[in-house]
């Protein structure tokens, strides 16, 4: 079956008669494409580029500095997902702050953080809420649960991001030269396909939401190429077993109950309008930013770090002068080398090189 799809991809690519650049907007795709050896199945005229689809990678250094300050100087217990521990701030990471005595604890879900709050009523507990639309419903539900339980010492520092506004920002910048998008399957289980409509309607770019198996990704690539060769631009769903056009109404309702849309700072991309989630009025007392008077600093990316260009899909990780030299998974300079879903970490792990 994969051979049939591969053959069709080559046939359609030849009929297009020019190079084609597709962006995979999810770090899980980047890893899956390497793991399944998908690039080796594609024609040389077809390029796959990474986009801003790794939540760890797009968390700004200023936000990292803000939560480090909370843990080191405000007496709070900071809870966070494990993959945030090594993301560099200005001078150190959360893991390094913990080594110096800050009370930073790794949790597997915001509900774990709520449990810590219940067990430590004499301490303020802050959950560093990161991720895209995939994780924000559970975060919102945990805030609601904290209200129901009356757990007054539980707060959130929310840096939740929204994918469609980031794609709009990329397209409107004029820097990104792609012919189509492989849209994130996990995010799309929550938001559906409709929020991506502007890609086809305004920018005339084909887009397909796929699953993560080799066949899913290859079928999605073939669907994109067939749109290109026919001159169409639509948002299609290959991942029909999970994704619906309307998304998940219950999850979306929970997000809207707790959060409101706001501008957000993305690492390497700057401030993107209406691309983040902040607390709405009803639950604003849970907002760590208000509770502790936080003002995240503006921090420039490290010199020579190309993480921003990698996230925009205008540079491959291997084109960065730091890649594999100063910047490695054990000593990351940029956030793209931290997470296992980061483009630089994936390229470092899977591409042949002198290590």
For the record, the structure tokens of 22 come out as: 């597709």
Mean pLDDT for the stretch of residues 160-184 = 94
What does the CA dihedral 74, 76, 79, 80 come to, rounded to 10 degrees?
A: 0
Cβ–Cβ < 8 Å for 129, 139: yes
Cβ–Cβ < 8 Å for 166, 76: no
Q: What is d(CA 157, CA 276) in angstroms, rounded to the nearest whole number? A: 12
Q: What structural domains and CATH numbers belong to the chain?
A: 1-303 (3.40.50.11740), 307-350 (no CATH)
> Strand pairing partners for 257?
none
Q: What is d(CA 88, CA 339) in angstroms, rounded to the nearest whole number? A: 11
Q: Is the pLDDT of residue 355 over 60?
A: no
Question: Residue 105 — left, alpha, or beta (φ > 0 → left; ψ -120 to 50 → alpha)?
Answer: beta
Q: What is the DSSP letter of 234?
A: -
pTM: 0.93
Q: Is the pLDDT of residue 54 over 60?
A: yes
Q: Is the pLDDT of residue 237 over 60?
A: yes
The H or E element that residue 56 is part of is helix 55-58
Mean pLDDT for the stretch of residues 212-222 = 96
Backbone angles phi, psi at 23, to 5 degrees: -110, 125
For the record, the structure tokens of 59 come out as: 């968390």
Q: What is d(CA 313, CA 202) in angstroms, rounded to the nearest whole number? A: 20
Q: From start to end of 194-234, where are the E strands?
A: 207-209
pLDDT value of position 53: 87
Max CA pair span of the chain: 68
pLDDT class for 353, splitting at 50, 70, 90? low
> Strand pairing partners for 259?
279
């Amino acid at each position: 079956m994969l051979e049939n799809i591969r053959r069709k991809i080559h046939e359609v690519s030849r009929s297009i008669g020019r190079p084609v650049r597709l962006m995979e907007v999810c770090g899980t795709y980047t890893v899956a494409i390497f793991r399944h050896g998908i690039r080796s199945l594609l024609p040389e005229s077809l390029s796959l580029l990474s986009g801003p689809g790794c939540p760890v990678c797009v968390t700004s250094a200023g936000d990292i500095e803000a939560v480090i300050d909370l843990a080191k100087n405000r007496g709070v217990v900071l809870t966070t997902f494990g993959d945030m521990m090594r993301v560099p701030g200005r001078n150190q990471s959360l893991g390094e702050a913990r080594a110096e005595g800050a009370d930073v604890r790794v949790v597997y879900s915001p509900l774990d953080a709520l449990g810590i709050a219940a067990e430590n009523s004499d301490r303020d507990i802050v959950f560093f809420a990161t991720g895209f639309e995939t994780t924000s419903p559970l975060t919102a539900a945990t805030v609601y649960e904290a209200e129901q339980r009356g757990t007054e010492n539980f707060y959130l520092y929310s840096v939740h991001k929204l994918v469609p506004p980031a794609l709009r920002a990329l397209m409107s910048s004029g820097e990104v030269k792609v012919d189509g998008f492989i849209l994130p399957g996990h995010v799309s289980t929550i938001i559906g396909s409709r929020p991506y409509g502007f890609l086809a309607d305004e920018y005339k770019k084909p887009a397909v939401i796929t699953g993560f198996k080799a066949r899913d990704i290859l079928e999605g690539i073939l669907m994109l190429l067939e749109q290109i060769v026919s001159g169409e631009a639509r948002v299609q769903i290959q991942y029909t077993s999970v994704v619906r056009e309307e998304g998940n109404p219950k999850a979306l309702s929970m997000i809207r109950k707790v959060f409101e849309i706001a501008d957000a700072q993305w690492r390497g991309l700057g401030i993107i309008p209406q691309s983040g989630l902040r607390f709405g009025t009803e639950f604003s007392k849970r907002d760590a930013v208000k509770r502790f008077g936080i003002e995240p600093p503006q921090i420039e990316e490290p010199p020579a770090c190309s993480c921003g260009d990698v996230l925009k899909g205008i540079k491959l990780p291997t084109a960065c002068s730091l890649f594999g030299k100063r910047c490695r998974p054990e000593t990351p300079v940029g956030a793209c080398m931290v997470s296992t879903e980061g483009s630089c970490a994936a390229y470092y792990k899977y591409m042949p090189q002198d290590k």
